[in-house]
Structure 1
Amino acid sequence: MYPASFEYHKAESVDQALAALAENPDLKVIAGGHSLLPAMKLRLAQPPALLDIWGIQEMKGITRDGDHWVVGAMTTHADVLRSDLPLFPEVAGWVGDPMVRNRGTIGGSLAHADPSADYPAAALALGVEFVIRGPGGERTVHADDMFQGMFESAVQPGELLTHIRIPATTQASAYEKFRHPASHYAVVGVAVVRHADGSVRAAYTGAAEKAHRLTKLEDAVNASQSVPTGLVDAGDLLGDRFASAEYRAHLVDVLAARAVGRLG
């Protein structure tokens, strides 16, 4: 299908983009477009106007800043895949296909907060910080506060996610995923990270309305106990024609045990 008609606007800088959003609240931001455009073609989304931020160079690239990596929100999955970042390159290899990875962006995926996306679990396990700019200036949001519901993140109307800050001092990490064979989205994905102080953080995606920390797993591993079962309650999970809530709960247990086993 073809999308409904819309106006097209383009920004070459963050300031220009924020000014455009302030002037026209109806603008919908588009980055790589691999989430928004399919929805528009199916008429599931019909924004009256688009703001293309693909050309904002200050939101691209990966640099080191002390104990953190700073990743521009417009950095593509392919660039993440080829980088020295902790965990995210492994996760990027699970994203879509080569076409999606060469055009889709890490910031677009994270801000979109798709409950079946891969990056949110990695962001939670790593303890990523999100740098967001808006009319009131710049603010930093921790991963624990970023994902607020289905397709709902801490990025507010009129704001842009410009960069993410990733701890560079992790000891080990792993991501295990059971993916849908057609869409390649996560039916369930589990990320586990051992940080510089030896503590472990873990999270899952694909099973609920948003990505969540696996606190029961964290408590067990940090107490040097074996990986328990029943990490999540099926009553808190989503069920559909691809996988029941009970099966997703089982997958969380299986994938978590695999991921912990890879930490060494």
Structure 2
Amino acid sequence: MKPPPFEYHAPTTADDACTLLGSLEDAKVLAGGQSLIPLLNFRLARPQHLVDINRVANLDRIYERDGGVAVQALARQAAVEDSEMVARVCPLLSAATRLVAHRVIRNRGTVCGSLAHADAASELPAVLLALGGAVVVRSSRGERTIPAGELFAGVFETTLAPDELMVEAWFPAIRESFSILEESRRHGDFALAGVVRAGAKLALFGVAPTPVLADPRDPARGLLPSGDLEATPEFRMHLVRVLTERAFAA
């Protein structure tokens, strides 16, 4: 299928991108495009404007900051996966990135794009939540930091304003007592249910409209997962219990 008509913009600086987002009605940001392009092709998204940030310079760094890992907006998931620094400082992020779809997807997909897309079945939003990380967003009004616990607002929805660009994600360091486990029908598919352990904290994905923190002693309490052709609500809750037990036994 072909995408619906839109006006294409290719800024070369982050400031120009923010100016465009602040002045245009109904704009979407294109980074890796691994989530947005399929939505466009199936006409599930119909933005009037597409702001392609791939020509913006100096927005693809992966570096240590404040005792953790900072990943900028154009840093590809494959680069995070391959980074020796990430493996040393936050191996949980390395492990989670390897679970994202397939390598060919990770070669283009971005970490910040996954967070901004806010798919509740994705691994990286749950990792950010379990670690207590944050994202930095920028607009013509300035920069602000959004803690992970305040970022995810609903299904494919974040608390970013329409004129804000996510320029960086920050993942606190963790070197032990961590795990990410998921169950899917096939390798590379979205998880039917998944858990992220970061020390004593537990985050769940694939079982609620957003990633959620849960009590490791009773992880399914309060959950109301949806059912579909892949799994019933009861099966998803069963998976949460089993995966949590395995994560904390590791």
Confirm or deny a common fold (TM above 0.5).
Answer: yes
Residues 59 and 73 in structure 1, CA contact (< 8 A), matched pair in contact too: yes
Residues 67 and 169 in structure 1, CA contact (< 8 A), matched pair in contact too: no
Residues 134 and 159 in structure 1, CA contact (< 8 A), matched pair in contact too: yes
Q: TM-score w.r.t. structure 2 length? A: 0.92
Tell whether 2:100 aligns with 1:95.
Answer: yes
Give distance in 2, aligned partners of 1:153 and 1:189.
Answer: 20
Deviations 1:35-85 (A, max 9, x none): 111111111112222110122233212111241221112211101111232
Give distance in 2, aligned partners of 1:169 and 1:236.
Answer: 30
Residue aligning to 2:231: 243
Gaps of 5+ in 1: 195-199, 218-227
Give distance in 1, aligned partners of 2:187 and 2:196.
Answer: 22
Q: CA deviation at 1:2?
A: 1.2
Residue type at the aligned position of 1:148? A
Residues 234 and 245 in structure 1, CA contact (< 8 A), matched pair in contact too: no
Higher mean Cα deviation, 179-188 or 22-31? Answer: 179-188
Tell whether 2:130 aligns with 1:142.
Answer: no
Secondary structure of the structure 1 residue equivalent to 2:107: helix
Tell whether 2:30 aligns with 1:42.
Answer: no
Q: CA deviation at 1:171?
A: 3.1
Q: TM-score w.r.t. structure 1 length? A: 0.88
Residue aligning to 1:75: 75
Q: CA deviation at 1:111?
A: 0.8
Residues 233 and 249 in structure 1, CA contact (< 8 A), matched pair in contact too: no
Q: CA deviation at 1:247?
A: 0.6
Give distance in 2, aligned partners of 1:51 and 1:78.
Answer: 23
Residues 19 and 139 in structure 2, CA contact (< 8 A), matched pair in contact too: no
Residues 223 and 237 in structure 2, CA contact (< 8 A), matched pair in contact too: no
Residue aligning to 1:224: none
Compute the RMSD of aligned alpha carbons.
1.6
Secondary structure of the structure 2 residue equivalent to 1:190: strand
- Residue identity over aligned pairs, in percent, reads 35
Residue aligning to 1:109: 114
Secondary structure of the structure 2 residue equivalent to 1:60: coil
